[in-house]
Structure 1
């Protein structure tokens, strides 16, 4: 009897244990797959390459589905008739999840009904030996090709494939594109990595032939990013190097090294928020842009100047008309949404003597709000009866301008004060060229003396 009771007790314990194991395993299966979280310890010891693809759609936007490597079509949520966007991160020296990943996922899913695939190769990107991560890039591309091949067999098209690559991820996207002979729909390179890629052949990095449309944002071209053009169109915010709002000295810690590099990602995210369009100006160089040689968007009709970010492909047809790769320059503010509202100040003077100096511009709306131009750091030469153009950028825009304020300065501390005799002034909103241009005629600017006046609509004419 005692033996039978003991046996029954053991059987109950065994059943309880089996149920407990099943419950734990079931709970793990139901748990949402997540991006691989590592730490600096993994970077020091090194990681073996592992790649997982996390699928999000509008049906499962809060819980990813891990795609099965050799059976992608078994996915519950993947719809191969829809556009598929891949997001590929770069080098991870600390092993942490990219800070921007969550926002990128939310904004891309809100932009359209798509398949969003997060390419997690954190095991392989997390290492203190940068060269190891670089060597893994081609291996990741090969794995991605395997997934894409299965999607193509299930009815997807290369035209609907869009890859967004950050740093090393940009070159991974390029390697995938090469495997399909440039027939991928689009690749966006967000500050493609420069170290170990600068100076190599096009087949060893991202190149404009890797997809039907390749747009690239350069924000750290003098350090971690790639300096030369790589795409169908290459955007160089603030010249592509030092970004406003980023630390200028090494004493700021890790932010000093990554802020400029990451700005490309945050500029791209800003374009998805649709708070404003960041307009860029096709130009040979940043210096030419600053000297007002490339600020006429009307020259690029019918599509005008390109916009930065997710909607940059709206300029694809224009690029086909130009039949050549394009570099585009612009300035930004120091924080999200980073927009700079550009105005062209067109001035004709009638001084007999040449004047050299700067003009500070303010605009005032009907509520009395005032914004001051953050640009115009280049000295301007004023000659008799010759028009000069000054690019003025504002962090805020006014749909209706009540008054304009101008201040002329030579920035000399001693000596004679000069005046500037203005024959005509014209202010044109470059971001909104359909707005009325504002004019003022026959007035004098005394040096270092602010002049505020009410402009009048300019007469219609071709400019």
Structure 2
């Protein structure tokens, strides 16, 4: 009988353990193979130009850290690609430097953490990496044809179009749109399930008709995040719901001058990706408020979402489909929210109602601080000077960068902005604070408060009287 030495066996076991730990192999039809990684190019590739070459890299819970390149002509080649599961396509955009997207590994892992699905990274770096953006745009449309043919094969092998979710970044958002058009214009195939567009590209697409860009009709459900609409992104609404972070343009924490280098150009544009990634975390629920404009949102005119179900206001990102039925009925909705400068990004919203006593009209800004004994949350309502008129309820939106569970003390400061002029006072008959997200929290009030210009006034809030609701 043949006996293998224990030292040789242990050595082979050690090798296989090491390869498994680093994610260097995956099993397909019983054969070991190396991982297929996203195409890595360099700036000199962009400088000389690249011709289109498309790759489909499959990730599942069985090969989460090790991509498997799929055949363009045989989608059933590997048992890892289970066509009865949901399939998410991750589609990058223009790649000036040719390097892989820095967020790619994170989005794959976080998508697989949500459910047992197929994640297909659509790698068209050859074609997207080009110094000439116009060539990349032309290549993108050819890449969309390739993706369409692949999805047709999926459908022929049992996949449902409704189970397909295309997540497109920048130029990749329009690529997803062109794929969707191919199916919706065919009476045989129908519509793909969902397109998520993360700051769709603006250059070469702004003012285009629907057939030449992403459009709300390109999928059964289209959700869009805008973060750089005044530069690299698209301004107008494109989906069933369009989320405008901080108004859709300048993002907190992003450089304001060209001296910051590369980040000056890409920070706002990439923020849409990081907001979507945040939505895949359990502790990141960014509430957005349907509204006609960001100014109206900041003015507190859009704090009610009575028509939305299952919860009053939609949540940004992956799980916005919980509001799908309502959004489809409304056809197109714009929703606004503000963020902090880093993950988890969300702010805590309160509605403030003030009834002034002063007979002369006062103009100014209000700073509110909430204290819980150990921590302080601050909101400065200063996007414009607010009008305070006698006996007239003035409603404002207060956005706090911290979420305090309990409020023991409130501090108010009224400022007119006068430097050399007279100092004014603002007398309040009533101050009311209501949480817009935590309905179980009590509505807090205080009555008869005198605020001097630029002076903090602190008080302990009390539950509001029933007549104040």
Do the structures match in fold with TM over 0.5?
A: yes
Deviation at 1:372, TM superposition (A): 1.1
Deviation at 1:460, TM superposition (A): 4.7
CA contact (8 A) 1:232 1:324 kept: yes
Q: Which residue of 1 aligns with 2:270?
A: 262
Out of 108, 121, 125, the residue aligned to residue 124 of structure 2 is 121
Cα separation, 1, equivalents of 2:273 and 2:310 = 29
Out of 334, 339, 347, the residue aligned to residue 332 of structure 1 is 339
Out of 217, 242, 245, the residue aligned to residue 209 of structure 1 is 217
| Equivalent runs, 1:18-417 vs 2, <5 Å | 30-181=33-184, 183-298=191-306, 300=308, 303-321=311-329, 323-365=330-372, 367-417=373-423
SS in 1 for 2:283: coil
Normalising by the residue count of structure 2, what TM-score does the alignment of the two structures yield?
Answer: 0.90
| Equivalent runs, 1:424-435 vs 2, <5 Å | 424-435=430-441
Alpha-carbon deviations, 1:251-289, whole Å to 9, x = none?
Answer: 111110000100000011111112231111111111111
Deviation at 1:458, TM superposition (A): 2.0
Structure 2 residue runs of 5 or longer lacking an equivalent are: 1-26, 185-189
Deviation at 1:457, TM superposition (A): 1.6
Cα separation, 2, equivalents of 1:452 and 1:374 = 16
Alpha-carbon deviations, 1:164-188, whole Å to 9, x = none?
Answer: 0000100010011111117111100
CA contact (8 A) 1:213 1:232 kept: yes
Cα separation, 2, equivalents of 1:46 and 1:29 = 35
Deviation at 1:420, TM superposition (A): 1.1
Cα separation, 2, equivalents of 1:349 and 1:308 = 36
Out of 448, 457, 460, the residue aligned to residue 454 of structure 1 is 460
Cα separation, 2, equivalents of 1:30 and 1:461 = 72
More displaced stretch, 296-305 vs 110-119: 296-305
Alpha-carbon deviations, 1:115-158, whole Å to 9, x = none?
Answer: 10000000010000101110011211111111111111121101
SS in 1 for 2:76: helix
CA contact (8 A) 1:376 1:390 kept: no
More displaced stretch, 260-269 vs 453-462: 453-462
CA contact (8 A) 1:303 1:318 kept: no
CA contact (8 A) 1:402 1:455 kept: yes
Deviation at 1:303, TM superposition (A): 3.0
Shift of the 451–108 alpha-carbon distance from structure 1 to 2, 3 Å rule, reads same
Deviation at 1:415, TM superposition (A): 2.5
CA contact (8 A) 1:419 1:446 kept: yes
Structure 1 residue runs of 5 or longer lacking an equivalent are: 1-25
SS in 1 for 2:303: coil
Q: Which residue of 2 aligns with 1:19?
A: none
Shift of the 174–441 alpha-carbon distance from structure 1 to 2, 3 Å rule, reads same
Cα separation, 1, equivalents of 2:393 and 2:291 = 21
Normalising by the residue count of structure 1, what TM-score does the alignment of the two structures yield?
Answer: 0.91
CA contact (8 A) 1:376 1:391 kept: no
CA contact (8 A) 1:221 1:227 kept: yes
Q: Which residue of 2 aligns with 1:12?
A: none
Deviation at 1:374, TM superposition (A): 4.6
Shift of the 281–462 alpha-carbon distance from structure 1 to 2, 3 Å rule, reads farther
Cα separation, 2, equivalents of 1:270 and 1:130 = 29
Cα separation, 2, equivalents of 1:443 and 1:462 = 16
Cα separation, 1, equivalents of 2:322 and 2:352 = 28
Root-mean-square deviation (Å): 1.6
Alpha-carbon deviations, 1:352-409, whole Å to 9, x = none?
Answer: 11111111000011x3311211543221101111111121111111111111110111
Q: Which residue of 2 aligns with 1:421?
A: 427
CA contact (8 A) 1:349 1:423 kept: yes
Deviation at 1:302, TM superposition (A): 5.0
